[in-house]
C-alpha cells in the first residue's frame, strides 16, 4: 500500500516534469477525426441543403416562355395577287433555302415563272397544316396555277406564319422549347464532342474531361474544349451566378453530382439544350438551340444542315466573342474547328467536313429576324391582349398569338412612308418630318399594317396610335352623309351655299370659317363641295343638319371618343389618331357596316389549344342608299377633287374613294381612303407641331397613292341597293340631262329624290376653285 | 397559372341541338330547301377563287356538322380573306353564329350577305334564315 502510495506520490511528484513531455505528442488523430467529422457533418448538411435546392429548382423548373406573335400566313391559291419577287422575299425572310431541286421542307426552287415550294407543316388554330410540295405558276402578277406533288391541282397552299415578335418577361429571355428527339442529326454528337465527351459516363464531374481538354487545348494552341461537364454548365446556368470564385466552383462541384442523382442523363441534356445562352439582341437574350436557330438562320432547328449545326455548337463557348454577325471570321474558324473535331471523333467523314467548311456561315441579317420588326403593330396587339390576359400569362405561358398583320402589306406601307417622306423632307433636321400609316382590310376590318415612324423598326413613339392630331377635312364625309340621309332635302346635286358665315362658337365668341383659298364659291352642287373640300359649304351644311346629328353620324361611323358640341368640330378641330380615323373610313369602305379593327385573329396556349378567337362581327350603321351616294362623292374627290393626285401613282382606271385633310397653318397633312379591298390612312407632320407647308394633297396623299399603287388594289364597286336609281343629270343646274350632253353625269339618287325637271345640256361646270388651278396642281407635285 | 379564357360566344346547347335536328331532318328529307344549314357544301356563284373558297367552305361545313365550331370559324375566316365579298361566306358565318347562339350577329351577317348580290337560290336561303 505504502509502495503503492509512494509510487503514487512519486508519480505525482514527477508529474509536472512529465506533463510537458506528454503535451508534445498532440492527439492529431483525434483532432483530425473530430474536425473531419464536424466538416463532414457540415458539408453533409450543406449538401443536403443544396440537394433540396437542386430538387426544388430542377424538378419545379418551368421556363417563362414569352408569348410568340405571328403574322398572317401567306396563303396561295389560283387568283391570289402576288408577284414572284414579293413571294421570294417573303420565303427568304422565313428562312426558306433556295435550292436547285427541292427535297425537304423549308426549300424552294425557281424556274422562270414557276416556283417549286416545299412548305413546312404548322399547327394553326384551325388545325394542322401538313408539309406540302407544290408548284406555283405566276402570270400577270397573280397565281395562275397551283399543283401538288402528284401533279393534280391543289386548291390552297398555306405556308407557316412568319414570327414577328414576342411579349417578353422582365428578364427578356427568349426561347423556344424542343425535345431531345427533335434535334438535327449532328447536334447532340457535335455538342458532346466539343463540350463533354464523357457525358454518358461521368457522375457530374469528370477529371478525365479536364485532362483531355487540357491536352486538346495544348495541341490546338488555344482553348477548344472546356473542362466543365454539361451537368456543371447546367448547374451554373440554372442555380449559380457567373461569378468566378472558388466558393462557386465548390458549390458547382457539389451540385453537379446531386443533379445527376435526381435527373436522368437525357433530362439533363434536354434541359441544357433549352437553357444554354446563345446570343443577344439588345435586351433580348437568346436561350436554347431552337431559338438560336431562328435567331441566326430564321430556320427551325430541325432543318439545319451540318455546317449550321456546327456553327451553333461553336457559339456555345462564347456567344459574344464568336457572334457570327459581328465577328464572322472568328465564328467561321471555330465552326471549322468543330467540324475537325467531328472528323477526329469519327462522327463524320472528312469529305463531309470539307464540304461543310466550304459553305458560308449562312447567317441571315439581324433585321430579317428582328424580334420586333413591326413595333407599331405589336403595340396594338399588346394593347388588345392586355384587355383579355394578364401580363404574367403573356410573358410566361408560351401563348401563341396569331395576328392579322400582312407582312407584305406592312413592308409596302412602311416603304411608302419612308420613301415619300425622304422626298418631302430632303434635308431632315433634328426633328424630321414624320409620318404614320394604318392599313386594314376594307370588307373585314382585319388590321393589316401599322406604321408609326418614318424609320422602319423604330420602337419609340407610335404615331399611328398615340399621336392625336386635328383631323381637318377628314370629318366632312360625316357632314355630307348626315345630309344625304335626308333625301327630301339633300342629293349629290343639291346646291349648297359656299359663303362666309358667322356662327356662335358656344364659348362666347364667333366662329367664321374660311376656305383654303380664302375665296367663297357661292352655290355649288353638294358633291363638288365635298370633292373640292370647301370649308364654308361644309360648315353651313353641318349647321343646317344639326351639330348633334353630325356627331351622331361620327359615332355610328366608329369614332368612339366624345366630341365637344362646338361648331369648329365640323371642320375637324378635334384631335384623333390615324387608327381612330381608320375605324371611321372602314365603315364607309365596307358599305355602311361598322366592324371593330381586328389585330388578333386567335390566341392558342402552348399545347396548341385555342383560347380566344377574335371573330368577325358586323353592324349595319348606315343604310346602303345614302352610303352609296357618299361613296360616289368620295370617288369624285379622287377623280376631280383634292385626291386626284393619287392617280399619279395608281392606274387611272381603278376606282378609289377618299378624302384629304389639312389643318390650320398646314401643321397636319392627312389622307384617308379605300379601294375595294383596302382602307389606308396616312398622316404627315412634325412631332413639335410646327407647320409642314404641306396640304393633305401635297403630303399624305402622296404616301397614300404610293402605297395603294404598290399594293395592287382592286377598284371600288357600287353597292347593291334597290332603293337607288342612277340618272344622267346636269349637275350645275341640278336637273335631268342626257347621256350625250357635254358635262352630263350619271349620278345615284335615293328613289324619289331624283331631279324631275329636264335642264338640258347647257352650262359646263365652271372652274371656280383657283387654288386647284392647273398651275397649283402642277406645282403640288414638286 | 391557369388561363380561363375560352372561345368567345360559345354556342348555346339548345340552339345547337335545334340546328342539328334541322340538319338531320333535311338530310332525311333529301331536300335543301327547308333546312337552315345546307346538307351539302354550298355551290359558289360568282366567286373568283372557286377552288380555294369552295374547299374551305366544304371543310367549314364539315367542321360545323361535327360541332367543331372553333375550327369552322377559322376556316370561314380564311375563306373570307380570300374572297371578302362572297355572299356565300357571310351566309355560312351567319349559320355559324346561329350555332353559337349569337342571334344578333345572325341577322347582321345575313343582311351583309344580301347586300353582296347573292344569286336567287342563296337569297332564298338567307331570307329564310332571318325569317323574311
Active site residue A560: no
CA distance A144 to A81: 10
Give B45→chain A minimum CA distance, Å: 16
In chain B, the residue whose alpha carbon lies closest to the alpha carbon of A156 is B52
| Position B36 pLDDT exceeds 90 | no
Mean pLDDT of A203-229: 77
Q: Buried (b) or exposed (e) across A628-663, using 16+ Cβ within 10 A? A: bbbbbbbbbbbeebbbbbbbebbeeebbbbbbbbbb
Mean pLDDT of A647-661: 96
Pick B77's closest partner by Cβ from A77, A442, A616. Answer: A616
Mean pLDDT of A492-516: 91
Locate B126 and state its grid cell.
338567307
Active site residue A270: no
Q: Which residue has the higher pLDDT, A127 or A520?
A: A520
CB pairs under 8 A between A and B: 108
Pairing relation of β-strands A122-124 and A127-129?
Answer: antiparallel
Mean pLDDT of A500-517: 88
| Position A168 pLDDT exceeds 80 | yes
Q: Which of A150, A261, A276 is nearest to A205 (CA)?
A: A261
CA distance A375 to B33: 51
CB A771, CB A517: distance < 8 Å? yes
- The verdict on a CB contact (< 8 Å) between B109 and A618 is yes
CB A59, CB A261: distance < 8 Å? no
* B-contacting residues in A 397-426 (Cβ below 8 Å): 397, 399
- The verdict on a CB contact (< 8 Å) between A624 and B115 is yes
Residues of chain B positioned with their CB less than 8 A from the CB of A611: 3, 5-6
Q: Give B53-85 pLDDT, tens digit per residue.
A: 999 999 999 999 999 999 999 999 999 999 999
Of the given ranges (A222-236, A510-524, A588-602, B101-115), which has the lowest mean pLDDT?
A: A222-236
Q: Which of A195, A270, A580, A780 is catalytic?
A: A195
pLDDT of residue A431: 83
Of the given ranges (A311-325, B4-18, B77-91), which has the lowest mean pLDDT?
A: B4-18
Mean pLDDT of A367-396: 84
* A-contacting residues in B 84-123 (Cβ below 8 Å): 84-85, 93, 105, 108-109, 111-112, 115-117
Q: How far is CA A503 from the centre of its chain?
A: 47
Of the given ranges (A178-192, A213-227, A550-564, A667-681), which has the lowest mean pLDDT?
A: A213-227
A301 membership: H or E segment, kind and range: none
Give B116→chain A minimum CA distance, Å: 7
| Position A687 pLDDT exceeds 50 | yes
Q: Which of A473, A590, A669, A710 is catalytic?
A: A473
Q: Give A252-271 pLDDT, tens digit per residue.
A: 888 888 889 888 999 999 99
| Position A342 pLDDT exceeds 50 | yes
Q: Which of B64, B127, B75 is nearest to B99 (CA)?
A: B64
**Across all residues in chain A, what is the average pLDDT?**
88
CA distance B33 to A92: 50
CA distance A256 to B85: 63
Best B56, B78, B122 residue to mutate vs chain A (most A CBs within 10 Å):
B78
Mean pLDDT of A229-239: 87
Q: How confident is the model at residue A212 (pLDDT cuts 50, 70, 90)?
A: confident
Q: Give A748-757 pLDDT, tens digit per residue.
A: 999 999 999 8
pLDDT of residue A680: 98
Residues of chain A positioned with their CB less than 8 A from the CB of B55: 155-156
- The verdict on a CB contact (< 8 Å) between B117 and A720 is yes
- The verdict on a CB contact (< 8 Å) between A611 and B80 is no
CA distance A406 to A384: 18
Give the CA distances from residue A46 to residues A42, A506, B83, in Å, rounded to whole numbers and listed in that order.
Answer: 6, 79, 68
- Could you give the 3-state DSSP secondary structure of residue A281? strand
pLDDT of residue A396: 87
Give B64→chain A minimum CA distance, Å: 12
Mean pLDDT of A221-237: 80
Could you tell me if the ipTM is greater than 0.90? no
| Position B9 pLDDT exceeds 70 | no
In chain B, the residue whose alpha carbon lies closest to the alpha carbon of A716 is B85
Alpha-carbon torsion angle A335, A341, A344, A348, nearest 10 = -50
Mean pLDDT of A605-624: 91
Give percent of chain A above pLDDT 70: 92
Q: Give A28-69 pLDDT, tens digit per residue.
A: 888 888 888 888 888 788 778 777 777 777 766 678 888 999
Q: How confident is the model at residue A421 (pLDDT cuts 50, 70, 90)?
A: very high
CA distance A376 to A383: 11
Q: How confident is the model at residue B42 (pLDDT cuts 50, 70, 90)?
A: very low
Residues of chain B positioned with their CB less than 8 A from the CB of A446: 81
- The verdict on a CB contact (< 8 Å) between A80 and B49 is yes
Q: How confident is the model at residue A133 (pLDDT cuts 50, 70, 90)?
A: very high
pLDDT of residue A24: 62
Mean pLDDT of A651-660: 96
Pick A79's closest partner by Cβ from B8, B48, B73. Answer: B48
Residues of chain A positioned with their CB less than 8 A from the CB of B78: 75, 126
CA distance A681 to A437: 6
Amino acid at each position: 500500500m505504502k509502495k503503492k502510495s509512494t509510487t503514487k506520490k512519486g508519480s505525482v511528484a514527477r508529474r509536472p516534469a512529465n506533463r510537458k513531455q506528454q503535451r508534445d505528442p498532440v492527439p492529431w488523430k483525434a483532432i483530425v477525426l473530430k474536425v473531419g467529422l464536424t466538416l463532414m457533418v457540415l458539408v453533409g448538411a450543406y449538401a443536403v441543403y443544396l440537394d433540396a435546392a437542386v430538387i426544388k429548382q430542377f424538378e419545379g423548373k418551368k421556363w417563362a416562355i414569352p408569348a410568340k406573335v405571328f403574322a398572317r400566313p401567306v396563303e396561295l391559291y389560283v387568283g391570289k395577287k402576288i408577284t414572284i419577287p414579293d413571294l421570294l422575299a417573303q420565303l427568304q425572310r422565313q428562312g426558306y433555302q433556295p435550292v436547285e431541286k427541292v427535297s425537304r421542307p423549308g426549300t424552294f426552287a425557281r424556274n422562270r415563272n414557276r416556283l417549286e415550294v416545299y412548305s413546312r407543316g404548322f399547327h394553326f388554330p384551325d388545325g394542322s397544316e401538313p408539309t406540302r410540295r407544290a408548284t406555283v405558276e405566276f402570270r400577270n402578277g397573280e397565281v395562275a396555277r397551283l399543283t401538288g406533288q402528284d401533279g393534280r391541282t391543289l386548291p390552297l397552299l398555306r405556308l407557316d406564319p412568319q414570327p414577328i415578335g414576342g411579349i417578353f418577361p422582365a428578364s427578356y429571355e427568349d426561347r423556344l422549347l424542343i425535345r431531345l428527339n427533335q434535334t438535327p442529326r449532328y447536334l447532340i454528337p457535335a455538342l458532346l464532342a466539343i463540350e463533354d465527351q464523357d457525358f454518358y459516363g461521368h457522375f457530374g464531374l469528370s477529371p478525365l474531361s479536364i485532362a483531355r481538354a487540357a491536352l486538346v487545348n495544348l495541341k490546338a494552341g488555344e482553348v477548344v474544349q472546356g473542362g466543365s461537364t454539361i451537368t456543371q454548365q447546367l448547374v451554373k446556368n440554372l442555380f449559380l451566378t457567373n461569378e468566378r470564385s472558388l466558393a462557386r466552383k465548390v458549390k458547382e462541384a457539389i451540385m453537379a453530382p446531386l443533379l445527376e442523382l435526381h435527373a436522368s442523363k437525357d433530362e439533363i441534356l434536354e434541359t441544357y439544350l433549352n437553357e444554354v445562352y446563345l446570343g443577344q439582341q439588345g435586351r433580348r437574350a437568346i436561350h436554347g438551340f431552337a431559338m438560336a436557330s431562328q435567331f441566326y438562320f430564321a430556320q427551325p432547328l430541325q432543318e439545319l444542315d451540318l455546317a449550321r449545326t456546327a456553327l451553333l455548337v461553336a457559339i456555345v463557348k462564347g456567344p459574344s466573342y464568336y457572334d457570327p454577325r459581328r465577328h464572322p471570321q472568328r465564328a467561321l474558324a471555330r465552326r471549322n474547328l468543330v467540324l475537325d473535331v467531328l472528323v477526329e471523333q469519327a462522327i463524320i467523314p472528312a469529305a463531309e467536313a470539307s464540304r461543310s467548311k466550304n459553305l458560308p456561315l449562312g447567317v441571315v441579317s439581324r433585321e430579317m429576324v428582328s424580334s420586333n420588326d413591326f413595333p407599331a403593330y405589336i403595340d396594338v396587339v399588346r394593347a388588345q391582349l392586355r384587355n383579355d390576359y394578364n401580363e404574367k400569362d403573356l410573358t410566361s405561358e408560351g401563348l401563341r398569338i396569331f395576328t392579322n398583320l400582312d407582312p407584305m402589306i406592312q413592308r409596302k406601307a412602311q416603304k411608302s412612308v419612308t420613301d415619300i417622306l425622304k422626298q418631302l423632307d430632303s434635308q431632315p433636321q433634328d426633328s424630321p418630318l414624320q409620318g404614320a400609316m394604318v392599313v386594314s382590310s376594307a370588307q373585314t376590318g382585319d388590321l393589316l399594317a401599322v406604321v408609326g415612324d418614318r424609320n422602319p423598326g423604330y420602337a419609340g413613339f407610335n404615331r399611328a396610335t398615340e399621336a392625336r392630331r386635328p383631323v381637318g377635312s377628314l370629318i366632312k364625309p360625316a357632314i355630307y352623309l348626315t345630309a344625304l340621309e335626308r333625301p327630301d332635302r339633300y342629293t349629290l346635286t343639291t346646291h349648297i351655299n359656299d359663303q362666309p358665315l358667322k356662327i356662335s362658337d358656344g364659348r362666347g365668341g364667333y366662329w367664321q370659317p374660311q376656305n383654303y383659298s380664302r375665296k367663297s364659291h357661292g352655290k355649288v352642287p353638294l358633291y363638288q363641295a365635298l370633292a373640292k373640300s370647301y370649308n364654308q359649304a361644309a360648315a353651313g351644311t353641318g349647321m343646317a343638319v344639326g351639330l348633334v346629328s353630325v356627331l351622331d353620324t361620327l359615332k355610328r361611323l366608329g369614332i368612339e371618343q366624345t366630341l365637344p358640341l362646338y361648331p369648329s368640330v365640323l371642320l375637324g378641330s378635334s384631335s384623333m389618331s390615324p387608327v381612330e380615323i381608320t375605324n371611321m373610313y372602314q365603315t364607309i369602305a365596307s358599305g355602311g357596316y361598322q366592324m371593330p379593327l381586328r389585330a388578333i385573329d386567335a390566341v392558342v396556349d402552348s399545347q396548341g389549344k385555342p383560347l380566344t378567337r377574335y371573330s368577325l362581327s358586323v353592324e349595319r350603321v348606315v343604310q346602303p342608299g345614302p352610303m352609296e351616294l357618299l361613296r360616289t362623292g368620295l370617288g369624285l374627290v379622287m377623280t376631280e377633287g383634292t385626291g386626284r393626285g393619287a392617280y399619279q401613282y395608281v392606274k387611272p382606271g381603278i376606282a378609289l374613294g377618299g378624302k384629304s385633310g389639312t389643318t390650320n397653318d398646314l401643321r397636319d397633312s392627312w389622307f384617308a381612303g379605300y379601294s375595294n379591298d383596302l382602307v389606308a390612312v396616312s398622316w404627315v407632320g412634325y412631332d413639335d407641331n410646327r407647320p409642314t407647308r404641306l396640304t393633305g394633297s401635297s403630303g399624305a396623299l402622296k404616301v397614300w397613292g404610293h402605297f395603294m399603287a404598290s399594293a395592287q388594289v382592286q377598284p371600288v364597286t357600287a353597292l347593291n341597293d334597290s332603293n337607288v336609281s342612277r340618272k344622267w343629270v346636269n349637275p350645275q343646274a341640278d336637273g335631268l340631262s342626257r347621256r350625250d350632253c357635254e358635262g352630263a353625269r350619271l349620278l345615284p339618287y335615293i328613289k324619289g329624290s331624283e331631279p324631275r325637271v329636264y335642264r338640258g345640256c347647257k352650262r359646263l361646270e365652271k372652274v371656280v376653285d383657283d387654288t386647284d388651278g392647273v398651275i397649283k396642281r402642277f406645282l403640288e407635285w414638286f | 397559372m391557369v388561363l380561363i379564357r375560352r372561345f368567345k360566344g360559345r354556342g348555346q346547347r339548345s340552339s345547337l341541338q335545334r340546328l342539328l335536328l334541322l340538319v338531320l331532318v333535311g338530310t332525311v328529307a333529301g331536300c335543301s330547301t327547308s333546312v337552315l344549314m345546307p346538307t351539302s357544301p354550298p355551290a359558289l356563284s360568282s366567286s373568283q377563287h372557286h377552288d380555294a373558297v369552295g374547299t374551305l367552305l366544304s371543310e367549314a361545313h364539315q367542321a360545323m356538322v361535327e360541332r367543331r365550331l372553333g375550327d369552322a370559324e377559322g376556316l370561314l375566316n380564311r375563306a373570307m380573306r380570300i374572297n371578302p365579298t362572297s355572299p356565300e361566306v357571310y351566309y355560312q358565318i351567319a349559320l355559324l353564329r346561329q350555332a353559337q347562339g349569337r342571334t344578333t350577329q345572325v341577322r347582321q351577317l345575313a343582311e351583309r350577305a344580301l347586300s353582296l348580290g347573292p344569286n336567287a337560290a342563296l337569297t332564298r336561303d338567307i331570307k329564310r334564315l332571318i325569317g323574311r
